[in-house]
Chain A
Amino acid sequence: EPEVTQTPSHQVTQMGQEVILRCVPISNHLYFYWYRQILGQKVEFLVSFYNNEISEKSEIFDDQFSVERPDGSNFTLKIRSTKLEDSAMYFCASSLAVSSTDTQYFGPGTRLTVL
């Protein structure tokens, strides 16, 4: 069964450093998403991406964040200058379409720890 994969599984970085989280969505999916989950809290939407551009972003997704689909398979989330409060699990998701009933499939997540 196809699945969303993410690397690395755990990333430790110093405050102020740049990090890139990587995702490989399901191959025939067209819509891509990033979510985050701070420890013990609910999963929060960050951004959605379609046709090589951001279709929607939340207030969390400020200028420090960016997304990119550098090739036909990868989807990345970059945090330019990490802050302590960026420590969280980051989940990538993908869906075939964006209709209201189209299922988003989630990857296993990357745990980001900012020291």
Chain B
Amino acid sequence: GESVGLHLPTLSVQEGDNSIINCAYSNSASDYFIWYKQESGKGPQFIIDIRSNMDKRQGQRVTVLLNKTVKHLSLQIAATQPGDSAVYFCAEKGRDDKIIFGKGTRLHILP
């Protein structure tokens, strides 16, 4: 069935280090994936997306990697900053127009 999940509920990273947040999905027919950032009291904010015909996509300080063989998605944040503290969700755009969210990883930035 369609489902998206994350490996870890929380991740602590030293400020300035790179963060890697992982996600596993189960629907091999999924063809579009999105990473959202949710700060406390706010709605999900689009970060970056990737289509299934790509392995890697880069944005500003963020990179998404897609491994279709093992159905794994990751978000890499370079030089993590205090403002990166949030819950990060991977999500799948289903066969129709709804987005299916995973459970989220809370990223803590250590000073």
Contacts and interface: CB of A to CB of B under 8 A. Distances in A.
Interface string B40-60: 011111100101000000000
Interface in A9-27: none
A31 interface: yes
Interface in A91-106: 91, 93, 95, 98, 100-101, 103-106
Interface stretch (B11-19, B61-69, B73-81, B96-104): B96-104
Nearest to B103: A42
B43 A48 contact: no
Contact of B43 (A42, A45, A56, A109): A109
A24 to B, nearest CB: 13
B44 A43 contact: yes
A98 B36 CA distance: 18
A93 B93 CA distance: 14
Interface residues of B, number: 24
A101 B98 contact: no
Given A91-B44, A100-B32, A107-B43, A45 B99 contact: yes
A55 B103 contact: no
B111 to A, nearest CB: 26
A58 interface: yes
Contacts of B34: 103
Nearest to A44: B101
B49 A103 contact: yes
Nearest to B5: A42
Contact of B102 (A31, A42, A55, A98): A42
A33 interface: yes
A31 B46 contact: no
Contacts of A42: 89, 101-104
B89 A33 contact: no
B49 A101 contact: yes
Interface of B: 31-32, 34, 36, 41-46, 49, 51, 89, 91, 93, 96-104
9 contacts: A31-B97, A33-B99, A45-B98, A56-B98, A98-B97, A103-B46, A103-B49, A104-B46, A108-B41
